[in-house]
Amino acid sequence: MCGFVGFTNYINDDGLVLGSMMDAIVHRGPDAEGKYVDDDIALGFRRLSIIDLEGGNQPMLNEDQSKILVFNGEIYNYKLLREELIENGHTFSTNADSEVVLHGFEQWGADVVKRLRGMFAFVIFSKDDRSIFGARDMFGIKPFYYTISENSFIFGSEIKAFLPHPEFQKKLNEEALAHYLSFQYSPTEETFFKDVYKLPPAHYFVFKDGKIEKTRYFKPEFKTVPGVVDFYADEIDKTLRESVEAHKIADVEVGSFLSSGIDSSYIAEAAKVDKTFTVGFESNDGDRYNEIGFAKQFADTIGVENISKVITPEEYWATFPKIQYQMDEPLADPASIALYFVSKLASEHVKVVMSGEGADELFGGYRIYQEPLTLTFYDRLPFGLRRFVSKVCEYLPKIYGVNYLIRRGKTIEERYIGNANIFSKKERNTLLKSEIAKQTCAPKILCDEFYDEVASKDDVTKMQYLDINMWLMGDILLKADKTSMANSLELRVPFLDKEVMALATTLPLACRVNTTSTKIALRRAAEKTLPRVTAQKDKLGFPVPIREWLREEEYYNKVKEQFTSEIADKYFNTDKLVKMLDVHKKGKTDLSRKIWTVYTFLVWYGEYFK
């Protein structure tokens, strides 16, 4: 696991600039560094050594030195690809998986990305035609950012690496702020930095003569195949264990994160690791926010060590600005801070960990997926009548029951934008001062592209498809990559594997979700080796007591200070922010998610723009 930066080279002091850019991401690769600079391109690399510890340094050149690679990720089928490439006449100088990507591009061109099993973002510069080929893995596990200025194409693993470049102009993208207030993350290819973009998952590009052309090389297709739960449970267990075995490839020790739920527990048991890692929070509400006891009990059951840490409120709040800096873009998911702390804990013992990200999206794990299946007497009323009631209720105070009537008068495409739905367009426009932000499209518009691709599917499949394409990349994998790499730790996600995905998309709805359970076939698979209480446990996922803290005087005042700051006044109607905070503190309504979303942006802004 590593990090890279690069730019087309038309500036003075290119080596010094490149060095400063590399320094900004030293946390991604503290073990080694490398540079390649010529008249047309500058490439920088920071290495965290996992496979072929002595070799495998980058930038990496092919046999005739006509192509140069910088690569971030792991290729789990690299040994098989290596054998095939050797049979085709390629000569290898290392045992690193990254060299397979370089020779694979020589052999298969852009189609190399379809052969790779793993997580990756990479760039290959071809000297002959001065073109740049780049790609990102099918899920977006590894990040890739780029910007095109008048004279340079700048790219890399993190946006903060762009800041030292003399042509990079740091400017806030106010449209991204509007979207973020609804989604709690940046949901489009555009980022919070004006003219900086994310390469979408499952895309490759060619940059030549100042222009970039992107191509999508993979789309998940849900083509269900008839079968009973027990059949799919057997297939899941077999496929997941094979994926875990592939993900264990390393020349260093591999550990595993462990919460109290099925996903990480299943991975930890299948991987047969020696060490697992868990964090919890101090709280006045018993063990609601602390999974350490459950995790330790499970670790004892499977005979592995569990190393844990209790995070104090003081630690959480003090570390929060640093974590937002590491994220590059604001992310208002409170669990990201827990993930940072468990990554820090794990990095003191191992270089690689496995985790359970992706299971919910692929196998139907979120409770909200049950909503389309939960029919009441009200749902049997004509949809036209329910839509009329919904429209009326939008003008009523948000008392108990009103939101239910609003949602039940809308189609799934109208009401579901993902696991986080913080502010509606109307709500965010009452808070925002920026006219640019106010004119930004409604959240639903951003989802339409993906809903259109699964228009004929059932509502649950539509929700899963949307989350795979938006929520997974924008929230789940962003925090997984940035918090682990901030601590020089490689995080691997065996659920997000092309073979596991191929199986998951064949599961009938009855094997995913019903009115009483989620992840039905996955839970049945887990029961083969896990205690039933673990296999059937509801999802928690490092819960954080934000709601409680915001009602305590100390943290209420901390947030209020931000809500009445000059930064807040620049972008928001601060009286409305303070009113929202006061309503929550009095206990009338839980507005913690809305408050935290705004607060997170203000803290992030202070790190990058103040």
Ramachandran angles phi, psi of 31, nearest 5°: -85, -30
For residue 411, name the pLDDT band (cuts at 50, 70, 90).
very high
CA–CA dist 83, 72 (Å, integer): 22
Question: Nearest 5°: CA angle at 496, between 495 and 500?
Answer: 65
Position 281 pLDDT exceeds 80? yes
Reported as a single tens digit per residue, the pLDDT across 164-204 is 999 999 999 999 999 999 999 999 999 999 999 999 999 99
pLDDT at residue number 14: 78
Percentage of the chain lying above the pLDDT 70 cut? 98
Domains, the chain, ranges and CATH?
A: 2-216 (3.60.20.10), 229-365+468-535 (3.40.50.620), 545-610 (no CATH)
pLDDT tens-place string over residues 463-513: 999 999 999 999 999 999 999 999 999 999 999 999 999 999 999 999 999
Structure-model confidence comparison of residues 282 and 405, the more confident one = 405
- CA dihedral (493, 499, 504, 508) in degrees, to 10, reads -170
Helices (H), 290-378: 292-302, 313-327, 335-347, 359-363
Alpha-carbon distance 142 to 124, whole Å? 16
- pLDDT computed for residue 17 by the predictor: 94
User: Is there a contact between 75 and 119 (Cβ–Cβ < 8 Å)?
Assistant: no
- In 10 A of CB 506, how many CB atoms? 16
pLDDT of residue 207: 98
Q: Residue 191's closest CA among 128, 147, 236?
A: 147
Q: Tokens 């094979």 label which residue?
A: 242
Among 225, 204, 223, CA closest to 213: 204
pLDDT digits (tens, 9 = 90+) for 515-564: 999 999 999 999 999 999 889 887 665 678 999 999 999 999 999 999 99
pLDDT at 402: 86
Residue pLDDT, tens place only, 14-39: 789 999 999 999 999 999 999 999 99
pLDDT score recorded for residue 588: 79
pLDDT at 282 (0 to 100):
77
Span 238-265, mean pLDDT? Answer: 95
Phi/psi at 392 (nearest 5 deg)? Answer: -65, -45
pLDDT in tens, 47-96: 988 776 777 789 999 999 999 999 999 999 999 999 999 999 999 999 99
| Residues in contact with 218: Cβ distance below 8 Å, sequence separation at least 6, in sequence order | 114, 138, 202
Task: Give me the pLDDT at residue 48, please.
Answer: 85
Strand ranges across the sheet with 196-198: 32-37, 41-47, 2-8, 153-156, 145-148, 196-198
358-379 pLDDT, tens digit per residue, is: 999 999 999 999 999 998 888 8
Please list the active-site residues: 2
Q: Which two tokens stand for residue 226?
A: 């008839």
* Predicted confidence (pLDDT) at residue 252 exceeds the cutoff of 80: yes
Mean pLDDT across 226-236: 96
Per-residue model confidence as pLDDT tens digits over 97-106: 999 999 999 9
pLDDT at 287 over 70: no
Q: Find all residues with CB under 8 Å of 547, minimum gap 6, and list them.
A: 584, 590, 592
Residues 6 or more apart whose CB falls under 8 angstroms from that of 209 comprise: none
- Yes or no: say if 327 and 477 are a contact pair by the CB < 8 Å rule: no
